[in-house]
Structure 1
Amino acid sequence: MTFNNKTIIYILLYAGLRVSELVSLKIKDLDFLTMNLKVVGKGGKYREVPLKPELAETIKAYLEDERKNSPFATSEYLLVTQRSGRMDADTVNKVLKKLGKTLNMTIFPHKFRHTFCTRLLKKGADLTTVAKLAGHASIQTTASFYINTSREDKQEAVGLL
């Protein structure tokens, strides 16, 4: 897997970004000192997402290798391709489709965002924090999408009695 592809997957999974937010990331949005990522979300609203150390290391490796040797190394955007100084959403979808084919599964970028939010909630993060990290305008949005108790969760809960 290339650093570029790994960077895409790690950002989607560990920062919970929408594809449009991912391809809009600029190098100046990264702050390795404070370990934060500045994200421009829907409606031009800004939010900060903490960088998990593994994500920071993956981004640094990408910047020092593939990105540095790209024909568009001077682009302000984080993700570039061999033909453009800014990766687009279609390219992200193609990368994930190709990876999915290799793994014999279908991979949708929004599933990574869903996994990000679901894992946070399952690990005990409160709904308000998850809503802020996801960039949801309303906590109701987060609740309606991510508070869907599965059969296994219900069985596990009853097992606690």
Structure 2
Amino acid sequence: MKVQRIRLPNSEKVTWVVLDDNNRFVEPIKSYLKYLESLQRSPNTIHSYANHLKLYWEFLRDSELDWTEVNLENLADFISWLRRPDPRVIFIHEQESRRLESTINTMLSVVCSFYDYHERIGNTEGIDAYKNQFQLGKKYKSFLHHINKGKETRTRLLKLKQPKKLPKTYTLEQTEQLTQACKRIRDKFLVCLLHETGMRIGQALGLRHEDIRSWDNEIQIVPRDDNANSARAKTRETYTIHVSKQLMSLYSEYITLEYPEDIDSDYLFINIWEGKIGYPLNYSTIQALFRRLSRDVGIEASPHMFRHTHATELIRSGMEMSYVQKRLGHASIQTTIDTYTHLTLNDLKEAYQSYLEERLNDGTKL
């Protein structure tokens, strides 16, 4: 089985399908992915869902199961199948899981969503994989929380417990090293942009010149579905990010010294020296850039780590969580809280030292 990339007729848009061992469409998956496409899910999301469902179909094949007759016990077997280092081999001794708990939970979520879709259109009776329970306590309570706190919520029965992990971030020294390792002004501007704004790489690759308001030091994030490089902003609402004069100066330097005068392009980040000149940068080009930066600097480098770094810096500076949420473009403040309000040992140490200094300054006896 394989996941196949296809380009839609008379369009620049691409999507993904799953082919069986005889190179035929797996129709139930094809129908579901088409449904996701109609909901304007990004090509990257559809690609990820296609890969997860391909694995699930391989499990069904190996287990000789019909996809319409699967029950909760079969899904539990799917978890075991995913965890084994080699699903074709049964080990006598305990082996380290092949996949992280978070990865398996994501795959289960996709499979359950797949069955929910087919249950709604009458292809299956669905899988009783959920239970209803009252809302558990949350860190953030909305203004109308007292109205909803007595309502039941739908919770998936099969879900592995995930170890909590702090989001990886860069130190100021590492950020400076990555910036200095950029050989082009364009690449340096991109790295500084990601660090100072915390925007997603899809948002950066979809930027147009009209989104840059240099006179007000503002950048607009505009969701677009027609980007030639398939870049997606993820958020469905337009919002504004305020930036520094230094970043705008770097933007002007990039436009003045490197951006070709004879190329008529709306896109901010384009191919200038290689590839299809004038065409907007795509994800694979960015991946190649960050692989080079990782090699040259000797640290793990990825665009999304700049987003984590920016959010962490804002929170440590004391910015209100609601402001951080708006700047990151999160639909819910709970997402911001759950992702970024984790304290490290250094955070705790520094907070306690500040507490001691305040008591000394106040003349309080320790």
Q: Normalised by the shorter chain, which TM-score bucket? A: over 0.9
Give CA-to-partner distance per residue, 1:55-95, whole Å, 9 cap, x none. Answer: 111111111111135x6x31100000132421112211211
Range with bigger deviation, 93-102 or 38-47 = 38-47
TM (norm. structure 1) is: 0.92
SS at match of 2:264: coil
Q: Does 1:66 align with 2:248?
A: no
TM (norm. structure 2) is: 0.42
> Structure with the greater relative contact order (CA < 8 A, sep ≥ 6): 1 or 2?
1
- 1:12 maps to 194
**Given that residues 8 and 92 in structure 1 are in contact (C-alpha distance below 8 angstroms), is that contact kept between their aligned partners in structure 2?**
no
- 2:295 maps to 101
Give me the identity figure in percent. 25
Q: 1:43 to 1:115 in 2, by over 3 A?
A: closer
Q: In the aligned structure 1, how far is the partner of 2:285 from the partner of 2:270?
A: 10
Range with bigger deviation, 16-25 or 117-126 = 117-126
Q: Which runs of 5+ in 1 are unaligned?
A: none
Q: Does 1:23 align with 2:205?
A: yes
Give CA-to-partner distance per residue, 1:116-151, whole Å, 9 cap, x none. Answer: 111111112111001100000001111111100111
SS at match of 1:42: coil
Aligned residues: 159
Off by >3 Å, runs of 4+ in structure 1: none
What amino acid sits opposite 1:150 in the alignment?
T
By how many angstroms is 1:44 displaced? Answer: 2.7
State the Cα RMSD in Å: 1.4
Structure (1 or 2) with the larger CA radius of gyration:
2
By how many angstroms is 1:104 displaced? Answer: 1.2
By how many angstroms is 1:43 displaced? Answer: 3.7
Q: In the aligned structure 2, how far is the partner of 1:49 from the partner of 1:36?
A: 6
SS at match of 1:10: helix
**Given that residues 17 and 134 in structure 1 are in contact (C-alpha distance below 8 angstroms), is that contact kept between their aligned partners in structure 2?**
yes
Q: Which runs of 5+ in 2 are unaligned?
A: 1-182, 223-232, 357-366
SS at match of 2:258: coil
2:247 to 55, 67, 74: 55
- 1:39 maps to 221
- Normalized per residue, the structure richer in helix is 1
What amino acid sits opposite 2:268 in the alignment?
L
What amino acid sits opposite 2:242 in the alignment?
P
SS at match of 1:37: strand
SS at match of 1:38: strand
By how many angstroms is 1:51 displaced? Answer: 1.8
Give CA-to-partner distance per residue, 1:89-126, whole Å, 9 cap, x none. Answer: 22112111111111111101101011111111111211
**Given that residues 120 and 130 in structure 1 are in contact (C-alpha distance below 8 angstroms), is that contact kept between their aligned partners in structure 2?**
yes
Q: 1:102 to 1:62 in 2, by over 3 A?
A: same
- 2:102 maps to none
Q: In the aligned structure 2, how far is the partner of 1:151 from the partner of 1:102?
A: 30
Range with bigger deviation, 36-45 or 141-150 = 36-45
Q: In the aligned structure 1, how far is the partner of 2:241 from the partner of 2:235?
A: 17
2:308 to 101, 111, 114: 114
By how many angstroms is 1:45 displaced? Answer: 1.4
Q: In the aligned structure 2, how far is the partner of 1:141 from the partner of 1:156?
A: 25
